[in-house]
Amino acid sequence: MNHQSIFEFKFIFLSALLFVAFTSIAYSDYDEEEALIELYGDEEVISIATGSAQPISRAPAVATVITAKDIKQMGATDIDDALETVPGLHVSRTARGYLPIYTFRGVYDQNNPQVLMLVNGISINNLYVGNRGEVWGGFPVESISRIEVIRGPGSAVYGADAFAGVINVITKDGSEIDGVEVGSRLGSFDTRDVWALYGGEVGGFDVALSAEFRDTDGHDEDVDADVATAQGSSLAPGSVNTATENFDTRLTISKNNWKFRTGLQRRENFETGAGVAEALDPSGELKSSRWNADLTYHNPTFTDAWDVSAQVSYLNTSQEVSDDLILFPPGSSLFIPGVGLSPPFADGVIGNPEVWERHLRYNLTGIFTGFDSHTIRSGIGYTHQEIYKVEEENNFSPIGFGTLTDVSDTPFVFLPEKHRNNSFAFVQDVWQLSNDWELTAGMRYDDYNDFGDTWNPRLALVWAARHDLTAKLLYGEAFRAPSFAEFRNQNNPVANGNTDLDPEEIETIELAFDYRPKNNLKLGLNLFKYEWDDIIRFTPDSATSLTAQNIGEQEGYGLEFEADWTINRDLSFTGNYAYQESEDKDLNEDSGNAPQHQFYVRVNWEFIPDWHVTPQWNFVMDRARVDGDARSDIDDYDIFDVTLRTKAFSNRWELALSARNLFNKRAFESSQNGLAGAAIPGDLPLARRSAWGELRFIY
């Protein structure tokens, strides 16, 4: 089928779907219980009304909430599948490990430290690179209650790294699971998912327990050339390596004002994607453990006027190597600064960097409502982050050149063991100016032991213009703390750290409209403009090496348009369009990599009772190259998925089938451009057509 005919087929398919849905008469004579459904409203409202869910608090920010129901509908099996549907957010990929790059509104960085990811409000960002970890392997979705995504800055509330956006994953508590659920999913690429959830009351405590296991070989699309091609030692053309074995477990115990949560995310046999150094490495494997625990006290009626919460939390995370990482394949030479090109390495250039870090956080927050028309939220906190163990074996350090040597605890290791302390205080006032006007003004102060202090304000003016229209004018500043890779990298042949770095800063102004012209139609329009300063980039400091420096400036503007339309009880539609223009101010050129236009549409149709079909279509368009990259612009892509889900056979059993990239489109994410051009000139291929089947039992 050529492109044109596929397009026509898809158009006809979707049109037919909509036509049939519009013209279909009610397929069953709804009995009187339907009147109750009329009375209570949709599933979200009834869940709130019957006490099994809490309304999401109204935050003066541009936010998207993806519920567990949405996740099921769209057929997402990993958090990235769900995040790609958020307007203004595109999930790109790095070559190393195929790690996600959550690109908000054109803010693109290979290491992606400008996005704060929280689990139940607690950061899981690493100190080392500033992202979620170099051994990511994804985040399974069965234990997720909802994902709250804030686009734009959030440092005035969340502190460091709430810069381009904040992703907060809220996990299910006992009342949401309410019993036992077990499930299994089998799919392409030898993917096996198994999960079990339990929720209920045990000895007067509300308990939620989840365990999720995933084993996948990952897709194996080919790259034609890589960084070693020029030397003639490359394994390309060859396939990328995206296997991983994940085990995730979480426990939540709560009673009255107290909540204890703990979890483990274990990654094994994690492969290197297109290679840690952008040279294919089919044998290298990593592993990781991410332990978290927190104890939270929250008393909304501490006194008549005070709502108080206190929290202590702990995170321990690792990056470990289980099979040698072959940075450059056998036969490759290495350029040694000051020496020149080395003889070829018979076993390849091997580097096994391992990092263990722990984070301890304390915070105390109070909300005071004793003043008329004012709600004051304030808090203090302290965070201790520490890289407490660094180990490395390599075969290119001066103390064992050519032989795999343990350089841990020597001056030749890639990173020193250091810590970072942060104390902070914040205050925010929500002031009801008049019946329809509300002003939020907040400020947060952060002090760091290694790079000083920073103040970050935010302002939000909210106007309830009509019964169906709310307008928000938002201003915020945010900062991104330099990661230890940028601050303290050493003995790296190409990228050196710099302890004189300042945090990156961003200023954002947004105008947001929420319009509900009909009870079943919700529209949103957000306009934004930002200035991103002091961008940390590894910049040439000599002919052969790079050092991290605050050197870049970027400006961006754009809009996001969203629509949610419940056409009738059986048919609903979700769609969004995002546009952004971002410019590198030093070069007066498009910043590149991020899509200028994104379009997403999803239809959920219950075509016969208890049978849901959900097609979705995602377009990623107009991704320019960065300045100096001679390649032509990367091709647009559109990916069409469809998911079928049913409980028709039994209330306890649920069956689902999903086809991903149904039309087998070739799709690529941009590979980075280096000093000598792009290491992987043909970009990073994404998975072609795949499918999975799922069965779950709920008791």
Burial of 221-238, coded b for 16+ CB within 10 Å and e otherwise, reads bebebbbbbebebbbbeb
CA separation for the pair 310, 319 (Å, rounded):
30
Q: Which has the closest alpha carbon to 481: 458, 509, 447?
A: 447
Residues 614, 603 contacting (CB under 8 angstroms): yes
Regarding 45 and contact with other proteins (CB under 8 A), the answer is: yes
Of 312, 200, 182, which is closest to residue 253 (Cα–Cα)?
200
The nearer residue to other proteins, 176 or 683, going by C-beta atoms, is 176
Q: According to CB under 8 A, which residues from 392 to 421 bind other proteins?
A: none
Q: Which is nearer to other proteins, 258 or 371 (CB)?
A: 371
Tell me: does residue 367 bind other proteins (CB under 8 A).
yes
Binding map of other proteins across residues 442-471, x = CB under 8 A, - = no contact? ----------------------x-xxx-x-
429 is a contact residue toward other proteins (CB under 8 A): no
Residue of 14, 21, 48, 525 that binds other proteins (CB under 8 A): 48
The 3-state DSSP class for residue 352 equals: strand
Binding status of residue 332 toward other proteins by CB under 8 A: no
CB 533 within 8 A of CB 584: no
Residue 10 structure tokens = 């898809």
Q: In angstroms, how far is CA 560 from the centroid of its own chain?
A: 18
User: How many other CB atoms are found less than 10 A from the CB of residue 322?
Assistant: 14
Size of the site for other proteins (CB under 8 A): 56
**Burial of 631 from C-beta contacts in 10 A (0-12 / 13-18 / 19+):** middle
Instruction: Report d(CA 496, CA 504) in Å as an integer.
Output: 18
- Which residues partner with 192 through β-bridges? 186, 215
Residue 37 as a binder of other proteins (CB under 8 A): the answer is yes
Residue 63 or 141 having the CB closest to other proteins: 63
Least distance CB 606 / other proteins (angstroms): 10
**Is residue 647 a contact residue for other proteins (CB under 8 A)?**
yes
Residue 378, H or E segment: strand 374-394
Least distance CB 521 / other proteins (angstroms): 10
The two three-digit tokens of residue 466, written as one number? 């009509």
**Residue 32 within binding range of other proteins, rule CB under 8 A:** yes
Q: Least distance (Å) from other proteins to the CB of residue 560?
A: 15
Least distance from other proteins to the Cβ atom of residue 603, Å: 20
Tokens 């330099």 belong to residue: 482
**DSSP 8-state code for residue 583:** E
- Of the candidate spans 101-109, 153-161, 364-372, 575-583, the one that interacts with other proteins by CB under 8 A turns out to be 364-372
Nearer to other proteins, 28 or 588 (CB): 28
Stretch that binds other proteins, among 59-67, 261-269, 474-482, 625-633 (CB under 8 A): 59-67
In the complex, the smallest distance separating the C-beta of residue 12 from other proteins, rounded to whole angstroms, is 30
Q: Which helix (H) or strand (E) holds 6?
A: helix 3-23
- The answer to the question of residue 514 lying near other proteins (CB under 8 A) is yes
| Residue 179 in the binding site for other proteins (CB under 8 A) | no
Binding of other proteins at residue 610 (CB under 8 A)? yes
Please identify, among the stretches 155-163, 411-419, 509-517, 635-643, the one whose residues bind other proteins according to the rule CB under 8 A.
509-517
Shorter beta-carbon distance to other proteins: residue 307 or 507: 307
3-state SS class at 541: coil
Q: What is the CA radius of gyration of the chain?
A: 26
What type of residue sits at position 103? T
Which is closer to other proteins, CB of 20 or CB of 37? 37
Residues from 589 through 608 that contact other proteins (CB under 8 A): none
Cα 169 to Cα 166: distance, rounded to the nearest angstrom: 10
Cα(206)–Cα(202) distance, rounded to whole angstroms?
A: 6
438 lies in the binding site for other proteins (CB under 8 A) = yes
Binding site for other proteins (CB under 8 A): 31-33, 35-52, 55-59, 63, 65, 300-301, 304-305, 307, 367, 369, 372-373, 375, 432, 435-436, 438, 464, 466-468, 470, 514, 516-520, 610, 647, 651
